[in-house]
Amino acid sequence: MNISVLGHGAWGSALAIHLSQQHQVTLWGRDSNAIQNMRESHVNETYLPGITLPTALKLSDDLLNTINETDLILVATPIAALRSVLTTLQPLIHNPVLWACKGFEPKTGLLAHQIAAEILGEKYPCAVISGPSFAQELAKGLPTAVTLASNDIELTQHLMQALHHPRLRLYGSQDVIGVEIAGAMKNIMAIAAGLSDGLSLGHNARAALITRGLAEMSRLGVAMGGKSETFMGLSGLGDLVLTATGPLSRNYRVGKFLAEGQHLEVILKQLGHVAEGVGAAFEVVNLANTYHVDLPISRMVEALLHRQITAHQALESLLNREPKLEI
């Protein structure tokens, strides 16, 4: 299969490295200087330092040429860039589009499938890939399992067969909404977990946050039309556990640094990567208001990020809640 991976960040590069073992892959990035440096050094020093790019992997800064004669477009840009990429490609593409973007589009608050529907149409063959997956580990060839979801069951089955690999196992789903809500909200819960660890609250507190965070994810997802069982799978529980406990998680580190009293702007500059949970918190609170869903952890994180409360006040807001039935 001829695959075009759009976005030379950590996840896009890791997917391109992995897929080039079995397919003809071109990795595109809009930064011409970065692409040229990758050609010369055979390393993506900015996002995957120390990992050698395969010689079979093609690199390109020409978007239109990249998708010429491709069989599959895999968009791995931040979600903020998804609309511009799809708009540029819309008159030219005739093949399925798979995205690995997580979160909500800034300003509109739309999920990836909603953006794609606006630009490509409701019935265009599209799918989303999401799950517990640190880019560095996949790029090193360590085992990874993710969910691939599409409303088109035939497309799901086709992509699962074509992309399945012992080191990247794909599990199919038709719950696009649930998969995307889980992928967006787990980053908020990771910030909360990092905050808890940064305040030295212990493993018990982190376990409670993860568990109640999963309940919030499921609550909103089901209200929006997702399936509750999706949140117990790889794109829900699996991704949440990884992101809320792994030191490689950018969102977890945001929470830890906030607990130390650092300002958000400084934290994000230090990370040098997108921390999707920061933007997602605002959008999730808006959705909670729209769907009348109780999301106390999400609200706490959103208030903390916007300096409405301190880290210790955030903790108190959760500990002082009224007792209630778990289910």
Task: Tell me the residue type at 105.
Answer: E
Contact 190, 252 (CB under 8 A): yes
Distance CA(70)–CA(86), nearest Å, equals: 15
229 secondary structure, DSSP code: G
Catalytic residue among 186, 227, 269, 324: 186
Residue showing tokens 């949440």: 240
Closest CA to 271 of 183, 208, 187: 187
Max intra-chain CA distance, the chain: 60
CA 117 distance to own-chain centroid: 19
Is 186 known to be catalytic? yes
Contact 19, 163 (CB under 8 A): yes
Residues in the chain, how many? 327
Distance CA(103)–CA(110), nearest Å, equals: 8
Which residues are marked as active site? 186
